[in-house]
Every structure is written in C-alpha cells, then in structure tokens.
Amino acid sequence: MAGSTFGEAFKITTFGESHGVSVGVIVEGVTPGVELDEAYIQVQMDRRKPGQSAVTSPRKEYDVIRIVSGMFEGRTTGTPLCILLDNKDMRPSAYDGMDETFRPGHADYTYLKKYGIRDHRGSGRASGRETAARVAAGAVARKLLEDRGVRVVAYTKEIGGIACRTYQPDEIEKNSVRACDPEAAGWMEDYVKTLVARGDSAGGIVECRISGAAAGLGEPVFDKLDADLAKAMLSVGAVKGIEFGAGFAAAGMLGSEHNDGMNADGFLSNHAGGILGGISTGADIVFRVAVKPTSSISSPQQTVTTQGEERTIRTEGRHDPCICPRVVPVIEAMACLVLEDHYKRQAALHG
Amino acid sequence: MAGSTFGEAFKITTFGESHGVSVGVIVEGVTPGVELDEAYIQVQMDRRKPGQSAVTSPRKEYDVIRIVSGMFEGRTTGTPLCILLDNKDMRPSAYDGMDETFRPGHADYTYLKKYGIRDHRGSGRASGRETAARVAAGAVARKLLEDRGVRVVAYTKEIGGIACRTYQPDEIEKNSVRACDPEAAGWMEDYVKTLVARGDSAGGIVECRISGAAAGLGEPVFDKLDADLAKAMLSVGAVKGIEFGAGFAAAGMLGSEHNDGMNADGFLSNHAGGILGGISTGADIVFRVAVKPTSSISSPQQTVTTQGEERTIRTEGRHDPCICPRVVPVIEAMACLVLEDHYKRQAALHG
Amino acid sequence: MAGSTFGEAFKITTFGESHGVSVGVIVEGVTPGVELDEAYIQVQMDRRKPGQSAVTSPRKEYDVIRIVSGMFEGRTTGTPLCILLDNKDMRPSAYDGMDETFRPGHADYTYLKKYGIRDHRGSGRASGRETAARVAAGAVARKLLEDRGVRVVAYTKEIGGIACRTYQPDEIEKNSVRACDPEAAGWMEDYVKTLVARGDSAGGIVECRISGAAAGLGEPVFDKLDADLAKAMLSVGAVKGIEFGAGFAAAGMLGSEHNDGMNADGFLSNHAGGILGGISTGADIVFRVAVKPTSSISSPQQTVTTQGEERTIRTEGRHDPCICPRVVPVIEAMACLVLEDHYKRQAALHG
Amino acid sequence: MAGSTFGEAFKITTFGESHGVSVGVIVEGVTPGVELDEAYIQVQMDRRKPGQSAVTSPRKEYDVIRIVSGMFEGRTTGTPLCILLDNKDMRPSAYDGMDETFRPGHADYTYLKKYGIRDHRGSGRASGRETAARVAAGAVARKLLEDRGVRVVAYTKEIGGIACRTYQPDEIEKNSVRACDPEAAGWMEDYVKTLVARGDSAGGIVECRISGAAAGLGEPVFDKLDADLAKAMLSVGAVKGIEFGAGFAAAGMLGSEHNDGMNADGFLSNHAGGILGGISTGADIVFRVAVKPTSSISSPQQTVTTQGEERTIRTEGRHDPCICPRVVPVIEAMACLVLEDHYKRQAALHG
C-alpha cells in the first residue's frame, strides 16, 4: 500500500532520505544457505556511486554498505537481510532556500501536494540516493541469479541523439558513459562535457539484455514478466518510457514481420523481446528505457515559490549532466529483483 | 503472487478462459452507497466487444454482464462486486489441431513451458477475451472517478505509420478505428481493409489522456503513479511499450527544454506527462502505448509442433486486423483502475 | 486491503451474499496438472450444507457447485479456478422488517456502522452462507494436501459443557454433531434437541488435528503457522477464540512441564501443538476453537431499531441450534488453505 | 510472502537477530505531518526491556532507539520511518555448544528444519529481542491512535494460576508483574521469585482492553478485526491462544445469555468483546492471550543433538522466569498496529 516495497516472493523494502541519517533496504525471501559477502555487493555500489568520472557528479556519497542482519558465518539464513548505508557527506546548507521554491523537473511540488510536508534537503526521499538501496538489494538477487545461470547486462544505447551502432559487451565498463560501442562512447563523452560547460543536461536510452533466463517466468494476467519489469523500470526516477523487443517500432510493422517464427532450433527472431503472453520464452529478454535529461541544471529556469510567487532559479551544485551511466546499474538491479522474484513465484506455483 | 489480482485499495481479480464456461471479475474495495447499474457497465463492454465494424473481428462474444454480488437496491454495499460474463459462442472445433502447434506471436509455447499443460481453445487464459473482465471492472472505477471529476480518454494515435495530426476528442467514437483525427481515421480504415484482404495485420499507437485528476496521487518509491500505469498497460496482451509525456523523445532533449517551468498559473508545458517523482501534478496525465500487430494472421508462417516438428501454419478464423480500436477501452479501463486505487491509497495515508 | 482475500501463494477471494444471485470463490496459485472434479468438492459441500439432520437448520441452500474456469480436460491448468454456487432458496420476504432492527449477536449494527448501507436479507455478506465458498476452495487445497500425505480432521469436542472423553476418529461422521466420542455425541444430540424446543442455542468447542504435515512450514516472524491458522479460524463468524496444544492450560503450567522434550525418536509430548517458533515440528498440529452459541434464537431479546427505538425481537426462521457440526468442515477448509499456502511459500523460499 | 511484514495500509517490516549487529523496523504508511520524537517511543521500549525488576531477566539489551528516516524537523514526512536498535550486549560465547543441541520449547529444531541453517546465538531471529522492533513501531501507531482518542492497555491477568480479582488500571505500572490487581500482584511476585530459585518458569494470561475505538473497523470476511488481532497476537513467540469477550466460556453459554442486547444507550453487555461480524461495535475491545512458561529453564531436560544423540540440557543464562510483564507492552504494540491499520483501511474504503 505505502509504496516502498517491491516484489512478492523475493521482496525489498527501502527507506531513507538523501540527507537523513541512513538509507537502506530489507531484503526478504532470500534463499537460505547462500554464500554472500559485503564485497560482492560493494562492486555494484561502486558502479552506481557518484564521482566515477568527469561525466558524473563529483559528490561523494560514501556508498559503503553494511549487512546488519540475515547472515551467519558468511551465509544467508533465510531471514530478512538488512543492508545499511550511512549518509556522511550531508551538506544541508547547500539546500538553503530550496524549501520555498519548486525546482522544475523535480518532485518538490508533488511531494508537497501529496504529503503536505516536504524534506527539501537534496530532494529527500525523491533523491537518486534512494537507488543505492536498490542496487544493494539487486546485488543479492544477482548472486542468486548467477547460480541459476542468468546474466543481466544494461548499457547506454544513446545519449542526446548519439547512438551505439555496435554491441560490444566487453566495452561497456571500459568507457565512462557505459556505452556498448566504444566509438559512440567517445562522441557521447565529448557531448556530455559540452553540456557541463553550458550548464545543461541530456537524456538518453539505456538497453538491458537478460540471457540465460528459463522459459516459463511471469504470472498471467497482471503480473506478466514485462508488466513487472515495466513497473520496476518506471519506478526509477529518471525513466519516462520502456519498450520490449521491437517496442514502439512494432506499431509500424505488419504481423507477418513482427511474429517470431520457430524452427527446430528455436525462435527465428526476437521481436517479442523474449516474452510472449507475459511469460519468458527462453530467448534473451531485451528492453530499452527512455531516460530524461537531468532536472538539475545551472541554466536559469522559470518557477514559483510555495507562496505562488514567480522566481528564476538556477540549480547549482554537483549534478550529473547525463544520468545514463549511473542509471545502468540501477536498471540491472531492478531487472535482477524482478527475475529472482519470478523464479521463486514459479517455484511456489509448482511447489 | 499468482498474478490475476491487480490493485491494492481498489482491487480486482479476474478469472476465465475464452472458451470455458464464464469469464468474470471480483472488484474489492468499492466505495459503499454508490448508485450503479449494469447498463452503465454495459456501455463500456460494447465498446470492447468484437464485431463492431469492418475493422474488427466479426466474432460475437455475448459480452452481456451480470452483477451477482455486492449490490443492494441499486447501490454498492462495499462488499465484493462480482461481475460475470458467460461464454456462449464457443466453437472449440475451430481450434482443432491447435493443441499441437505453436502459433507464432501467441503465448502457446510459453503457457506450455510455464504450466506444463495448456488450454488451447482460443488461447485459453491468454485470450483477449480476458480483457472483457477488466473493462467491466474498469467501468466501476470509472463511475467512482466521474464523481471525483476525473475523465479518462484513450484513442488511436497511429496505425501502420498513419498518424493523427489533430486532437479532436469528439471524433473518437465516430470512426471505426477510434482515431482522434477524422482525416487520419479515413486513411487508417482504408489501410486496415487492405490488410484483411492480404491476410496480414498492423500495429499502432494508442494514447491516453487523464484530466481532472488531483495532484498528489502515487506512492513513492515503487508504486509511483507512472510505474503502476506502466504495469497496468504492459499487462495488456498486445502492448509492447509505454511512454509518458515526452517519453522516448526526452532521450534527445536538453534539460533546459524538457523541464516544465512554472508560473503563477501553473505549469508552462507538460513534458513530464502530468507526473513528477511518481506523483500526479494536477496537469493532464498523458501516455502512449505501442500496440503490436495482431499475431493471428492467415499468411503462412513457420513454426513447430509440441514434438519439435517444423510446420507452416495459417491462423484462420475471425481475428482483428488491427486491435487498436478495441484496445482503447481496455487502456481506459486499466487507467481507471490505477487512478481509483491511488485515490484510495492517498485517503489511507492521510486517513 | 479489502478483506475478501486470504492466502498468498495459494490464495482465495470470495464473494456473494446469502440472498444475492450467487456466492463463489476464485482460487489462485493452484498447482497445474492436478486431476480434480466437481464431485470431489461436492463431498465437502454436503458436509457443510444445512438440513443434514435434526440438529442443523432445515434450510436448503442448494450447495451444488460449478467450476467455471481453470480446468481443462479434468485437470487444473494453473490459472484461476472459479467455483460458483447459485442461490436458489431465496426468501427475501422472510427478512421483512429486519432492515430496521439490529438482531443481537449479529453483524447488523456493525455493517451499518462500517458501510453506511446494509443488505439485510439473511445477513447479506455476514451470512454463514459465505463459508460455502471457503469449503469449496478448501476442498481444492485438501486435494493438493492429500498428494502430500497431509490429513486434516476436525470434530466437535464439546457442546454446552458436554465434552468428548475419547478420540475415535472413525465415529466423527457417524453422528449428527460430528463428535469424536459416540457416547458424548448421544448426550449432545439430546441437549441440542432440547434447545430447539426452548428456542435457544448452544456453543461448543471444535478441535482440529493435522497429521502428516512436514516440519518447516510457517514464515517467521509474523506469518507464523499458528498466527495464520489463528487468523483463518477467527475469520469464521462464530469463532471467538483459539488455542494451540496445551493452549490456555499452558498459563498454569511450569516450563519443566510444558516444554516438549526430545529423544532419538522425536518429541516426547506435544504441548506445543506441533508448532515451535511459528514453524511446524512434524508432530500433529492440534488446535481448538471456541464456537459461540448461534445468535439467531426465537427467545425474546432486547434491541433497538436503526432509529434508536427500543424493541423486543425474536429471530424466527430456520436456524442451527448449535453450529458446531457445520463449523467442522469450515474449520477443516480453512486449515487446508493455510497449510497448502505455507507449503507453497516454503517452496518459494528454497526455489 | 516472506513473513517479516505486518499490516497493509499501516505496515511494518522487522529485521534483525538477537546477536547480530542491529534489530530494527521500517514503518510504512505513517500519516505525514505528525509530531513525534524518539523520547516518546523510548518510553515504550523501556517497558519492554529486560532488567526492570527482580522478576525479569537481568540482561541489558541497550534498547536505545534511533529514527534514521521518515522524519523532518520533528514531524513525520509520510515516507518510511526506519527505527534502529543496535545490539551491544552480545555474548556469543554464552551460546557455545548450542549450535548442536535443540533446546526444548525453543525454535532451534524448527528453524533448522525450515532453513537448513540456523543462527544459534541467542535464538537468532526467533529471539524475543525481535519484539523490541515491534514495540518501537507500535509506539508510532500508538501516537496516531492517541490523536484519534483510542487507548490501548494490557496487563497481566493471571500467572501460574494466581488471578487478578479486581481491575485497577492505575496499579498496572506500579507492580513488577504488571497485574491489574495489587493484591494478586504481590502473590504473583512471590511465586515468580520461587520459580527463579527452583530454576523453573511459569506461564500466565495477559488481557488487553482497547477503549475509544470507533465502530466500523475491520474488513470482512477474512480481515476481520478479531482475525487480524488473533494473527498479531499469535505471532508473538510465547502466545499459545487468544479469546475475545466471553471467549472459551462462550462454548458453555446459551445464545440467550451470550447475545449482547441493546437499548437506547447502547449495548447491555459485552460478551462479544467489542466485535460483531469482525467489525468493531464501539464498545471496549477485550481479549486475553495465553502465555506459555518461558522455555529457557535451568532444570535438566531431555533433548537430542543435530546428530540425533540424546542429551540432558540445562539452559543457563539470564532468562525471565515469567515473561508476562514484558509481553504486556508487546501485546499493546501489536494491538496498536492492528487498530491503526484498520483505521486507514476504513479511510481507503470510503476515500
């Protein structure tokens, strides 16, 4: 009901504001007896953290996680796993005055409308910092999926109109924008640096590819695998759209083109993106999300105060000119959570 | 867990296969004391039913609903409202042989992989017939939303590359494709008729516009309004993507373009699609879904049997060459369900 | 949220009022591929139905069930199973005047307070008729449990102070009060007939014994097996209390008495009632519920109208002088639902 | 699914083992804008903590809570409230050898059976320490209920057969056993001290009385107010039974005795315990729970090792000879959680 819980058989609940004491997550339904350590999770945290390169925010969020429950002698116990991240780089003074003015593109206005009260420090609960908790939980799911032979990889497909033309998975972690094409990556990096200079930001497209997933995952008719993935992705702040397989291009295709035929070796194409009738086919699950340009820009923008007075605002501070490279591990984390949940739900159905 | 339930405070559970005895829905959490009658619901059923025009399937599904519980003397009682639709036009013989061959684009293969058993008659549970139950439940939500001053309208925006150029809401129900531009509607109708002759099908884009919704709806961080709408829409069989406001176009925009400024009268633009931080802004909520071309086509397609033998298949029968016009009321129904649920969740938060 | 759903991995949703068109239930999460037929379910329906003997209500409820979805060629498909019971013996005129007077011990007053509107015909949704839907769903769970080797048996332990002194399971279905001691059964039957003559009613105690259940069922810390059983039982209208194993007697015991020791063959006693820390031990699960005397009696009682005017009321009609024998199959059904749900949840945890 | 979440509209999720790093709770659905401080919550923590008197365990659990999210400038924000309690008095060495022997009456055996792995330090997740998280969350609910005029009071009614004969609410917090009758309290205290000397323990009965609750709370047919209270109470480790109003005594009453008549001033008695048809009547809600004798006793007991070898065990350490006085605040906390949840659910239904 209250919105901070995701998943059913494998379930997470996150808490925490960007400038509160801690953010964290409880992971429920973890298979007992699995070897896990903080270092494994930390790898993913480091992929999401700010300050990784010139194209990401130089803030230091101290994303050092601590597992405070659910483990015993290096193994999961099956009881709730709580992972904490303490906030240390809090500079509430950096947000002085922000309690009175609605930043365009931010949730300032809507949080006040919803709750009647708002923690304005660094966007409070609406901050991207909350996704750190998701990445931590996603790493736990990733561990379980690895044991199932499932691999989840996301990457930047496009930034500001510059698109990858090749898919070279080994290149993704080698460039600062996490693009799957090193040549496009170079153009993207240059473009993003230009934006920093101009005080502006850019959006992009992130693609995710899941290989090795079993056929049969997904629960018709509402908890279809694509439906749950769509919810998971749209719950990420900057995401404004999602498409599976051929996606929006399917709108312009004929049935005879779009249908994926089969022969004795399997599917002849994958316009469906690995999901038919909401259930995985065993082919790669492929989807793309639209990432909006970062809302915080130092260019002047027109807005109003909580009293309705008109203002011009510049959002100074340490912000990402394009959030795509840091969204990549969040997309992967959410995909891992959905997949692991559906594996367990399938086990329950037949259990 | 099992996937046939949607919503929390306003919740539906559907059941039924296309060629079983009945399909239906239980609606829980209905505000008590509301005047409601079967005729009000039937109006929406008739918009979804097949055989409305030359561009839709000539099947007769007998979508005549019966409310069998939850009402007393013309008013809702607050107890579960069960709405039944009996299946009457069952022709299981039309599906002879389908138990052995996987139809491309259909859920035949995945249902068998998931359940190990499959009701092959008319797609069974994976049939579009199941959406009749959603439309019935959506009509109940629509009634409650009307009393709140909320209006939900969907329409065909594009079919096979032919796009509407104007938005004329009064025209939507006047043309057989439910397009919002009468001129484009004419072109679409001609195109769809051509497809029938060719034994092929087309996809399209359906847009939905929700006006009058209060600011403050949506539950961060996972049950964001857009996240729940995305799940709702992707749970509809033919939908392969969704985008809110500027959507995928945002990927190519600058932050200074995409951010919606404000002045004393409100928002200066609506690139966000009426949702910021997962919470409604009070502006129109606008999203588009990608609808794939109907999978059932009479052109020959390559496939395999359950035994792995290769076959060429033609899906004969009474199918929609483009499902967009009949998806429109389903999209509206799902949107109504999400909105009403979030109104009630907001009431709980402050209650 | 709305209260008509029970269970998670194996989940039911009931609907229907006693004098509406139908009552019924949707069962989700049913293992696919299981042989099931209506006759199997009907056996349990017949144990619950009124008019079985002189000690139960002579009403005929026509508890003939129909499965309208979720089955294909005699097997479950894994999709929602909907079971319907049409109401046929409706005599709304028998309830004339009841819309204005609150019957003591009934939910008339509270339904009106809660919903602001009330279907007064035969208690509407608060009627014992709703438990028919539970028994139907419970029979589905019972079928799955049989395949696991689990046996669920309930029986009348005590009526009006007359208690069983022996436990003879084979005798339970042979006497009209479903007591486990034939001698006590005779005394109970005589007592209940006396009550009919006096226009009064009696309460009793029903005990339930579950054998063959695996160790390891139950989900700490809130969804303990005993916690879920307690909720299930207290959700049955007439039940006012529950105790496990030694139960309330444990309040007077010493730790050294109450603790169940172990030796190489297992537990030396079963004061815990087969549950430790909320998880099944593998020993028999044993609990007892307190059943209140039937509220509908023909003796005069003091009450008020909806307008607050004082009245003397006699609840005429066809009522059970003691509901215990008909509660027995309902208790069993609820126990089956809880057990099967926890089997599936355990499968998910390790899945 | 996973069992560590309770409630729907007002929902808690607990985590933590007795000898892990921390225990804690996330509270979701908290009404925004409510003044709250740690001191308010700490009052309840101190009522539950060990070492309060000669009759409770001398362990020091350092139940000092920290709110790490969901608050801003002394008010709730409506986002998840996380409350942490760090464990400081960990003495894992005190549990040496316990990994191999099942303590009678404890969850050692069942945790191993369920999870295949077990944190044996101080019972791990099965420890009473987990209830500290509940008491913290319950205090938040209590605060909201106070604003609604609801008062929740529990007290020891009976220990080892010694029963209170009067109800003097002002006396409850004045004696070490939290009895509602100061004379009985004296006898109980003496009795408990005797048990300490004998290395044994006693059970008891705790009663709870909720006054000021509105009529209309509870969601038929499964989430009845008494059903949810029953689940809440049975989820507390030591509780083995619950009864409402007349409870098990109702089994021996006539309908004409048990039914609560009404006159113009309201109900003439309260055998129903303030709940009819699962919905609150507005009268005091009254229930009693059976508390088993503490399982940890220093008397020798017969048990086995994980290898099935027979052993005699004495559970040395710092244990409560009777847990009733410390269960009292836990019972109150759980009752507060249920009540607040149902207030919010009622708001959703009508919202």
Write the pLDDT tens digit of every residue in A271-304: 999 999 999 999 999 999 999 999 999 999 999 9
* Helix, coil or strand: residue B180: coil
| Residue C153 structure tokens | 């048996």
Question: Chain D partners of B348 at a C-beta cutoff of 8 Å?
Answer: 9, 29, 344-345, 347-348, 351
pLDDT given at position C258: 97
Closest-CA residue of C relative to D101 is C262
Q: In the prediction, which pLDDT does C179 show?
A: 98
- Taking the Cβ of residue B202 and every Cβ of chain A, the question of whether any pair is shorter than 8 Å is answered with yes
Are C343 and A350 a contacting pair at CB < 8 A?
Answer: no
Q: Is B277 annotated as a binding residue?
A: yes
Could you tell me how many residues make up chain B? 351
Our CA-based measurement puts residue A293 at a distance from the nearest CA of chain C, in whole angstroms, of 37
DSSP one-letter code for D279: E
Q: How far does A38 lie from chain B, in Å, by closest CA?
A: 25
Hey, is the C-beta of C351 within 8 angstroms of any chain A C-beta? yes
Taking an 8 Å cut-off on Cβ atoms, the answer to whether C248 and D241 are in contact is yes
Mean pLDDT (whole number) for A244-272: 97
- Can you list the residues of chain D whose pLDDT is less than 70? 58-62, 89-98
Say if residues C55 and C109 touch (Cβ distance below 8 Å): no
* C-alpha–C-alpha distance, residues C133 and C15, integer Å: 8
Distances (CA, A) of A5 to D12, D29, D336: 11, 11, 22
Which residues from chain B sit within 8 angstroms of residue A23, using beta carbons? none
Nearest to C351 among A1, A79, A343 (CB): A343
Shortest alpha-carbon distance between residue B54 and chain C (Å): 31
Cβ pair D15:A26 closer than 8 A:
yes
Residue D52, pLDDT score = 82
Hey, is A132 helix, strand or coil?
Answer: helix
Among left, alpha and beta (phi > 0; psi -120 to 50; other), residue B97 is left
Which is it for the CA torsion B73, B76, B80, B85, positive or negative? positive
pLDDT of residue C19: 87
pTM score = 0.97
For residue D241, CA distances in Å to A133, C100, C158, C248, C290 come to 39, 37, 18, 6, 11
ipTM of the prediction: 0.97
Closest Cα in chain C to A144: C351
Tell me which of D248, D301, D305 to substitute to probe the interface with C (most C C-beta atoms closer than 10 Å).
D248
- The closest of A223, D139, D119, D62 to C220, measured between CA atoms, is D119
CB-CB contact of D250 with C293 (8 Å): yes
Q: How far apart are CA C68 and CA B18, in angstroms?
A: 11
Q: What pLDDT score does D59 carry?
A: 64
Three-state secondary structure call for residue A69: coil
In DSSP terms, B207 is beta-bridged to B155, B288
The single-letter DSSP state of residue A193 is H
Tell me how close the Cα of C21 comes to any Cα of chain D, in angstroms: 18
How many beta-carbon pairs below 8 A join chains A and B? Answer: 381
CB of B277 within 8 Å of a chain D CB? The answer is no
B:26-55 residues touching chain C, CB 8 A cutoff: 26, 28-29, 32-33
Which of A21, A26, A119 has its CB closest to that of D13? A26
Question: What is the pLDDT averaged over residues B321-332?
Answer: 97
Please list the alpha-helical segments (H only) found in C29-94. 38-48
Q: pLDDT tens for residues B209-259?
A: 999 999 999 999 999 999 999 999 999 999 999 999 999 999 999 999 999
pLDDT greater than 80 at residue B36: yes
Q: Do A262 and B109 touch (CB under 8 A)?
A: yes
Contact criterion met (CB < 8 Å) for C350 and A347: yes
Distance CA C219, CA C29 (A): 18
Percent pLDDT > 70 in chain C is 95
B/C interface, count of CB pairs below 8 Å: 161
C-alpha A29/C-alpha A344 separation (Å) is 9
Q: Which residues of A, range 115-144, sit inside 8 Å of D by Cβ?
A: 115-119, 124-125
Please give the distance of CA C229 from its chain centroid, rounded to a whole number. Answer: 11
User: Which tokens belong to A230?
Assistant: 């769509």
Domains of chain A, residue spans: 5-350
Please give the structure tokens belonging to residue A64. Answer: 């050092």
Before C289, cis peptide (omega within 30)?
A: no
Q: Are B349 and D220 a contacting pair at CB < 8 A?
A: no
Query: For position D94, what pLDDT does the model report?
Result: 60
* Count of residues in chain D: 351
CB–CB contacts below 8 A, C to D: 380
Give yes or no for B5 touching C (CB within 8 A).
yes
Mean pLDDT, residues C308-324: 89
Specify the CATH number for A5-350; select among 3.40.50.10440, 3.40.50.300, 3.60.150.10, 3.30.300.30. 3.60.150.10
Q: What count of Cα atoms within 13 Å lies in the side-chain half-sphere of residue A260?
A: 21
Q: What pLDDT shows up at residue B95? A: 62
Q: Is D160 on the interface with C (CB under 8 A)?
A: yes
pLDDT of residue C95: 62
Residue of B77, B349, B350 to mutate, testing the D interface (most D Cβ within 10 Å of its Cβ): B349
State whether residue C161 sits within 8 Å of chain D by CB. Answer: yes
Looking at residues C185-202, what average pLDDT do you find?
Answer: 96
User: Which residues in B90-113 are b (16+ Cβ under 10 Å) and which e?
Assistant: eeeeebeebbebbbbbbbbbbbbb
Across chain A, which distance is largest between two alpha carbons, in Å? 68
Chain C contact for D57 (CB, 8 A cutoff): no
Q: Among B179, B189, B135, which residue's Cα sits nearest to residue B158?
A: B179
Q: Does D68 touch chain A (CB under 8 A)?
A: yes
What confidence score (pLDDT) does residue D213 get?
A: 98
Q: For chain D, how long is the longest CA-to-CA vector?
A: 68
Taking contacts as CB-CB distances below 8 angstroms, the residues of chain C near B15 are 26, 68-70, 79-82
Q: Which of A4, A244, A258 sits opposite B221 (nearest CB)?
A: A4
Our CA-based measurement puts residue C101 at a distance from the nearest CA of chain D, in whole angstroms, of: 11
Q: Which chains touch B (3 or more CB pairs under 8 A)?
A: A, C, D
Q: What whole-number distance in Å separates Cα of residue D16 and Cα of residue C218?
A: 18
Q: What percent of chain A has pLDDT over 90?
A: 87
Of C8, C220, C347, the CB nearest to A347: C347
* Residue C302 with chain D: CB contacts under 8 Å: 261-263, 268
At residue D225, what is the residue type?
A: L
Strand duo D151-159 + A275-276: pairing: unpaired
More confident call, C316 vs A209: A209
Shortest alpha-carbon distance between residue C285 and chain D (Å)? 13
Q: Given CB atoms, is A312 within the 8 Å cutoff of chain B?
A: no
Return the pLDDT at A60. 64
As to burial, measured by CB atoms within 10 angstroms (0-12 exposed, 13-18 middle, 19+ buried), residue B168 is middle
pLDDT in tens, D239-280: 999 999 999 999 999 999 999 999 999 999 999 999 999 999
* From A1, A32, A348, residue closest to C345, measured CB to CB: A348
Does the distance separating the beta carbons of C348 and A348 come in below 8 Å?
yes
